[in-house]
Amino acid sequence: MASPMKTSEVSLLPTSITTSPWTYDVFLSFRGDDTRTTFTESLHTALKQRKIEVFIDYELSRGEEIKPELLKAIEDSGISIIVFSKNYASSSWCLDELLKIMECRENMGQIVLPVFYDIDPSYIRKQSGSYADAFARHDNDKRFTEEKLKAWREALTNASNLAGFNLQNEDQEKFIQRIVENVLTRMSKKPLNVAVYPVGMDSRVKEIFSMLGTCSNDVRFVGICGMAGIGKTTIAKAVYNRLCQEFEGSSFLSNVGKKSEQINGLARLQENLLSDILIKENLSIRDTREGIDVIQKKLCNKKVLIVLDEVDQSSQLEALARKHEWFGEGSKIIITTRYKHLLNLVPVDETYSVKELDPHESLQLFSWHAFRKNCPEEGYLELSRDVVSYVRGLPLALKVFGSFLIDKRRTSEWISALEKLRNIRPDEIEQKLRISFDALDRENKEIFLDIAFFFIGMNKNYAIEILDGCGFSSEASISDLVYRSLITIDENDEIRMSFLLRDMGREIVLQEAPKDCGKRSRLWSHKDVCDILENKMGTENVEGLILENPETMEMKFVTEAFANMKRLRLLQLNNVDINGDYGLISRKLRWLRWNRFSLEFIPTNFHLDNLVALEMQYSKIKQVWKEEKLLKNLKILDLSHSADLVKTPDFLSLPNLERLILECCTSLVEVHHSIGHLHGLIVLNLKDCKSLQILPESICNVKSLKNLILSGCSSLKMLPDKLGSMESLMNLSLEETSIEQLPNSIVQLENLKTLSIKGIKEPPESLRKTPDSIGLLPASLSGLRSLKSLKIRNCNLLEGPPSEIGSLASLEYLDLCGSHFCSLPNTISQLSKLKNLWLGDCTRLEALPELPSNLDYLHTGGCTSLKEFSNLWSLSSLEGLDISQTSVCNLPSSIRGLSQLKELMLEDCKRLKSIPELPSSLERIYASGCTEMERLPNLSNLQKLSLLILTDCHKLAEIEDPQRKEPIQEIHMDRCKNSYTFMKSFLNLLQGAKDECSGFNAILAGSEVPDWFTCRTLGSEVSFEVPLVLGCKVRGLTLCAVYAGYDETCIFSIAHYAYIINITKGVHWLLMGSQIHGKNSCKNNMWVRHRAHPDMGKWLEGGDQVRVMVHATEAHKVKMCGVHLVYKPDDEKRSNVVIVEDERSMLGNSRAKNKRQRNQNGAGPSNILSDPALFNPHLFY
């Protein structure tokens, strides 16, 4: 049982709402009398059994006010579970807990999971039933103010609208297990590493939250700028950790500037961005232009969170996040940079300039690093203040100095350090940081400098291999550098160093020989290196050299330029030619990275005896060596993208090789049989070696191999029979090979965790040529006890997976898409850990057996023979259901019981005629192309529904009046019979919408702006003066635009957005719609967009001159557009609504004058709303 934190312990903890891990994983809020013995204790026990750290307050007697340590426990929890019961609201203590929980959700992104125990969520949402009784008592209690009662009510309403768990005639034990599994899933999303002691972080994060507009559905770009070491990345990570759960996809791209400098660096960054958000592996982007197109197409309708960290050139922003319209509604883009001017090159909405810590924060952060508590030890207060005053408020410097002084416990040592600080100018921060560097021993200094020049961003273990080869004990040294805050290791196990420390390291080397660069230990300046090589000025002082040459330039040198660099051990070249006697190059080389090496083989006299890592990507090598050489120290050989390489070397000469990377060596036809002697090989990557037809049997002798990547080896038809003897193998990737049958021995791979197979699609008639007796999978799979992911896609499976698939006790992900079996084995229901089941395009599949009850996602799109889904009732955990392009006629009524379902995909279900009542948890419905569908269910209970796509539902006529609290944010109804009426129903919701950040988006068939729009004009622009309406302010804006295309049958892509410019105030913002792709619909598409926001009244005030510009293209011009403003009273307490009975007559005079102006010259007025007499806004009271 987790006990409450003691007050004395609280003072020793850093204040942190932005870092992870939490003090507690889960905070449990509950009404003790209702659920303690019946439910909460069982939930608590189940969570603890799964090693989840829970805070639960078991005090039976509670005072009038909630205790501070309880509030602190809520702040220090990653997830809050609220157990709503009948009498929850009768406890003011519970309601105060709820207030704090919802505050942490709003300000810090805490995950909140409501559990509805024996109560209907609507009672909580509306405060009816027992909740009405409880508030009747609270209303008469003089202790509670009107503001407090209002806050409680809002918190209850907001919490009840969150996706949660509703116990409805379900076995309580299974219900609890669903909650536990959900918590574990959320915990498994590994947070980014933030500062260990995030002093001053909370206020900064809250400011970023405000700038991002986390409650709004606007796309927002926010820049974070400041000097190196000020904490930009740390703040961005903290914000990301708090928000990423709230988005459909998220990506944190670290060190963008450095990574973009690598070969195809921007394209690789685009791949990473898309892979993170789409959760897809093996994405391939050929060039930056293609990447831009894919980003726009794939992300324009997704709500995403993206952080671009350490941007240093405009090209990076242009390739990754150039415009708001690239991303879906509600997306947030954060850019960190040292160069503020870069933020002017993209439409950044807000810029946060990171300020130094104040004196109190600085002392606290310094103390955490120097004393491991939030204040100095006795006798060190004044000394600490002196250090802080000299270092100022730079977090990096405070961390480095605190870590430097932590093991110095004599005041004389502190005084000595202070004397050094006093002798340095206040603005020379690098000199101050050097004091910490000077305190390192010789080996740690050398490793620090090596990292500063060569290894930033490199995998830690990879760097350790190289540094150990240089004679260092680098693992201990790297740990010491981390301890002293001179480097960090990120969540991907990559080495990171701040630019400030990197530049300090380079300055240290520069000072070794300020006027003679040839005498420095490490060379990186392009100009200096070229001068040294051209003039043969190198000396034996040189230990490391970097020369990166752009692909467009030709650069040649001679080997004599290296003759005097006898101690050279780290050499990094790109696109550089060197001619001459290679025997002149240092024999002490440990790491050689020579990309685009131009020779056909490595010269025999190139002495590489001591080499640990050899990387020659994109080389011209055909054969590694003409004569084999014994390289007993070589552990890493990377010849990726060497398109001319025909065969590998004899591996007897490389006895200690651990990583062999030959990706995309498209001419490789042979792997030498001696590979079986590599008893330390861990990784073998042969991806996209398209000419490779066979692997040697001897490969099965490599017992150490953990990762075998053969994807894209399209000529490879079989695997060695004894594959099962590779006892350490964990990951086997066989996508897009020609393998028709796996060896039976594969079941012996007890440690295998992922098996991925994807066939090469053949013409349909080839299926008849495939004998039914031949199966890809062996008859038994029982030996694969560790397998978590099994992907067998487009492999023409005729008989389905074997019945023993139920024995795969660890399986979580199963993908059988593109197969030709008619049924699945009943044993599939035994896969108790299965979360994702993909069956897309299994065109002969006729029925589904009982499926595992813990399934989160079921994908059957394209299963054209599938006619019914009778077993849905058992899938109580299901969050996503895709039955697109099936032959289903009716959905079972049991779908209502899927209380966790968020996404329902019904696209192109041509036989589907109606949809039954749906679960209230639904957020997105995709039903385009359901051409026979005539009726939608009442959507009133779908209060969370934000996206409804009904495009091409031609027969859809009956739509029940959606009595909803809030409008659906985005609706697509192209070519629907009753789309206009349906749209008007949703527009009426604006009168009662409580959420002032509400809005909607609709794409409709139409050739003219509806006449109820106050302003209608030809063309794509309209300017007006905002009318002054006494006692009211602008609440929202509705825009309508009609697009007309030239070609009725073209394939089109229209990005819907508009710029709204307040000329008077000098501000503008983007009104985002969505990007629609389609065919045969280029003419007369009407876009209707409404946006409400609490600050709209500040953005648009009476008398402001405003211009609206709707986006158009050559192929899709804006035929006409219209604008309509919505007002509300300044007095928030006036809540009775006046309904305008005859809108047409109210706006009649305006219509007539507008029409006359259009008829006079055919162009329509440019300032149609400038006269308040012409503008009659809706007034809602």
pLDDT tens, residue by residue, 982-1013:
666 555 554 444 445 556 667 776 788 887 78
Higher pLDDT, 717 or 767: 717
Q: Is residue 457 part of a domain?
A: yes
Lowest mean pLDDT among 209-218, 601-610, 843-852, 917-926: 209-218
Average pLDDT over residues 67-90: 88
- Does residue 858 register a pLDDT over 80? yes
The CATH number of residue 462's host domain is: 1.10.10
Whether residue 207 is contained in a domain is answered as yes
CATH number for position 127: 3.40.50.10140
For residue 987, what pLDDT is reported? 57
**pTM (2 d.p.):** 0.70
Domain end point (choices 188, 217, 244): 188
Q: Is 1020 within 8 Å of 1042 (Cβ atoms)?
A: no
pLDDT tops 50 at residue 229: yes
Cβ within 8 Å of residue 478, ≥6 positions away: 447, 460, 463, 464, 487, 489, 495
Task: Give the integer Cα–Cα distance in Å for 287 and 63.
Answer: 65
Q: What share of the chain is helix, strand, coil (3-state, %, to 5)?
A: 30, 20, 50
Domain presence at residue 919: yes
**Are 1085 and 1173 in the same domain?**
yes
Whether 852 and 878 map to the same domain: the answer is no
Look up residue 703 and give its two tokens: 């017992």
Q: Which helix (H) or strand (E) holds 535?
A: helix 526-535
- Per-residue pLDDT reduced to its tens digit, 112-134: 899 998 888 888 888 988 999 99
> Do residue 846 and residue 965 come from a single domain?
no
pLDDT at 597: 95
pLDDT band for 579, please (50, 70, 90 cuts).
very high
Task: Flag whether pLDDT at 1180 surpasses 50.
Answer: no
Segment 227-246 shows an average pLDDT of: 85
pLDDT band at 977 (very low <50, low <70, confident <90, very high): low
Q: Copy the structure tokens of residue 1106.
A: 């405003």
Shared-domain flag, residues 925 and 1034: no
Give the chain's domain count. 6
Contact 248, 947 (CB under 8 A): no
What pLDDT is stored for residue 972 in this prediction?
74
In a domain, 177, yes or no: yes
Quick check: is 753 in a domain?
no
Cβ–Cβ < 8 Å for 770, 736 = no
What CATH number corresponds to the domain at position 327?
A: 3.40.50.300
| 72-76, 327-331, 938-942: the lowest-pLDDT one | 938-942
Confidence of residue 431 (pLDDT cuts 50, 70, 90): confident
- Six-digit token string for 199: 């002093």
| Residue 34 scores a pLDDT above 50 | yes
Question: What confidence score (pLDDT) does residue 328 get?
Answer: 87
| Whether residue 1018 sits in one domain with residue 974 | no
- Mark which of 811, 846, 866 sits at the end of a domain: 866
Q: Is residue 347 part of a domain?
A: yes
Domain identity same for 861 and 966: no
- Whether residue 1134 has pLDDT greater than 70: no
Crossing angle of helices 130-139/146-160, nearest 10°?
Answer: 160
End-to-end CA distance of the chain: 53
Mean pLDDT computed over 123-150: 89
Summarize pLDDT for 1060-1080 with one digit per residue, the tens. 888 888 777 777 765 554 444
Please name every residue paired with 243 in a beta bridge, in sequence order, or none if there are none. none
Pick from 758-762, 849-853, 910-914, 1166-1170: least confident:
1166-1170
Which residues neighbour 243 within 8 Å (Cβ) at sequence distance 6 or greater?
109, 212, 214, 250, 305, 332
Q: Where does a domain end: 461, 488, 511?
A: 511
For residue 39, give the 3-state DSSP assignment.
Answer: helix
Q: Tokens 């929890």 appear where?
A: 77
pLDDT band at 295 (very low <50, low <70, confident <90, very high): very high
Instruction: Kindly state whether residues 850 and 931 are assigned to the same domain.
Output: no
Interval 596-622 mean pLDDT: 94
178 and 223 housed in the same domain: no
User: 57 is in which domain, residue-wise?
Assistant: 7-188
In a domain, 700, yes or no: no
**Active site residues per annotation:** 97
What does the pLDDT read at residue 645? 96
pLDDT score, position 1078: 47
Q: Specify if 1165 maps to a domain.
A: yes
pLDDT at res. 223: 94
CA dist., res. 386 & res. 408, Å (int): 16
> 1000 or 1053: which carries more pLDDT confidence?
1000
- How far is residue 984's CA from residue 434's CA, in Å, rounded to a whole number? 68
Peptide bond into 1129 cis (omega under 30): no
Among 305-314, 643-652, 770-779, the range scoring the smallest mean pLDDT is 770-779
Residues 1016 and 975 reside in one and the same domain: no
pLDDT for the residue 763: 36
Q: What is the mean pLDDT of residues 261-275?
A: 88
Q: How confident is the model at residue 522 (pLDDT cuts 50, 70, 90)?
A: very high
